[in-house]
Chains A and B, each alone.
Chain A
């Protein structure tokens, strides 16, 4: 049976395909049509996506269908719609998947500019979703507001994987098109040059989305020609604060950091974008964050000359690239850790930063929450304690001589330090936790686990328990066991 047969059998509401009954048509796109499903009834609301095939339809439609089937089939988790079933590409291609109701990010773009706190909330959730894809060796390559939906809990879901690249599968779209594929306003410079495997292309598109939310405009407009599309290789966008003066400098810093022409100058991972959005009080402002004008014509001309010979670097697998840009949490018990442990933690961090020039260090401590009745003395008030803890964290980190933009400080308030650390690590996509070893006393072991033990047991990533070298340790009576 040939694929052209699809056009001969009319499909519409009420049609049945492989036992699934189509309901209303929800969406007609350039490449596919989407129907809701009316039956059979199941636990999940479902949709069916049918590629537009047949006479007059581009051959790319079927390739995008195959790509989406391959990529979606390899993914799972809250950030992707669940693929339930698919039809054979030769006889009846379709994708049956979970219906994510939305809202769509497009709803906010229509109202943009929106307040910075909404940009943070929507943008950080989107960055989390993008990071999750990258961790699974997928580059989406079509991040745009219409392709971002939010679940009720605020989790972002990325849809439409027709242009995606999965490192473990043949790239059916490579060299298929004479023109760059993707949505031109959101397309990264390297994508324009035909590179389809760089996760930082998604970070560029994320920057375009953030720019759009903050200003209500597209940073590179809606180019209609190839030369117009190529302008972003040498022309920087109007700084968001020049359009929407209410945009905080930190937000402009984050947006323009995502929109760097050279992928190597952008954020190394989407997790780092999410981290900066959430902890924006710690974003280090550079000229990027404060500029109010675009680069002058001399600079643009110089860049134009360079762009003429622009050759994007070959890219490694997405997951190996983002693994080289980890977020490392150092848990510091400002009250309990002794000097030997604090120094051992610093040594461990020194080794990490020597091995990897992209990693970020988040120094975290946990203090008890303020008692409901307030503290008796002003020195004990939560604010004072918070500040004192911050000072101690900075004091701890000073000898590391880390550049400002690679280290952040966080004081969490919780009665349960282990839970607070684990939760923090989950929310911030932390890749590794360093924590000081508990004293080697039988009593603490008997008491059902120290903070370190609980973090090891419940942490979402690798946990390194750091113990100072033995000969540095004073011998305590507990270490002497009588025989």
Chain B
């Protein structure tokens, strides 16, 4: 089975559809959306409807902090730009989108895999994983061989060696990496809708569960359209620029 993993989509319909199309060419036959479906971008309704249609066919979907904020359940105040986008998003959403978001769990566990938006230590706290120590804590709390997550927008694969300490690996797009069951792995699949590493191509990953391999991808998409929609919606200019520069 080939499981396509998307995180931090942030209402970017152009990025999401480009990644979905790419995943289809790679033979993806199942999908997981790892939170932050909305926020920042200009297409919350279309993105939520599209993801809801995937869930109706068995896709895994978990809640992210921006999704929680859109439901009025923000833990910590967001930055001004993000908050402006959330306020706008709340005005766009109707009952079907709201109830879809309401229905999302914080985590999903299937066999030896845990799907979660941020750290598994306390999913509702939305802690970032930016160091091996935090990756180790998440793996320990998650009690899974594989944790697939997002929240941090850059692609990183944390792997455990014999010393037991996770170490970060920054993947090369398109190279399948063997991820055997005898080790623990924490994959941050990268942001589909708002890449921030200086490369504006959308991120996603494809886990081949049959052959125990994971491949990270970067996909070129129409960021100019996505950015112009953000401007047309009257959202902060900084959000549009971010898509253009990928940072």
Contacts and interface: CB of A to CB of B under 8 A. Distances in A.
The answer to whether A and B belong to the same complex is: yes
A170 B177 contact: yes
A69 B178 contact: yes
A167 interface: yes
A66 B180 contact: yes
Contacts of B178: 66, 69-70, 169
Given A167-B172, A170-B157, A175 B177 contact: no
B182 interface: yes
Interface size of A as a range: 10 to 19
A4 interface: no
Given A168-B172, A170-B167, A171-B169, A63 B182 contact: no
A315 interface: no
A176 B180 contact: no
Give the dominant DSSP class at A's interface. Answer: loop
Nearest to A88: B180
Contacts, number: 41
B175 interface: yes
Interface in A46-96: 59-60, 63, 66, 69-70, 89-90
B175 A175 contact: no
Contact of B167 (A89, A167, A168, A174): A174
Give the dominant DSSP class at B's interface. Answer: loop
Contacts of B172: 167-168
A239 B181 CA distance: 51
Interface size of B as a range: 10 to 19
Interface stretch (B37-45, B90-98, B158-166): B158-166
A48 B111 CA distance: 33
A170 B161 CA distance: 10
B182 to A, nearest CB: 5
Contact of A169 (B161, B163, B177, B182): B177
A63 B162 CA distance: 8
A176 B169 contact: no
A176 B177 contact: no
A90 B180 contact: yes
**Residue of B171, B178, B180 contacting most chain A CB atoms (<10 Å):** B178
Contact of A170 (B162, B165, B169, B182): B169
B194 to A, nearest CB: 26
A316 to B, nearest CB: 13
Contacts of B171: 168
Given A174-B167, A176-B161, A176-B163, A89 B177 contact: no
Contacts of B159: 170, 172
Interface string A163-185: 00001111111111000000000
Interface of B: 157, 159, 161-163, 165, 167, 169, 171-172, 175, 177-178, 180-182
Interface of A: 59-60, 63, 66, 69-70, 89-90, 167-176
13 contacts: A59-B162, A63-B161, A69-B178, A89-B180, A90-B181, A168-B175, A169-B169, A170-B157, A170-B159, A170-B167, A170-B177, A174-B167, A176-B161
Given A90-B181, A170-B169, 11 more contacts: A70-B178, A89-B180, A170-B157, A170-B159, A170-B167, A170-B177, A171-B169, A173-B161, A174-B167, A175-B161, A176-B161
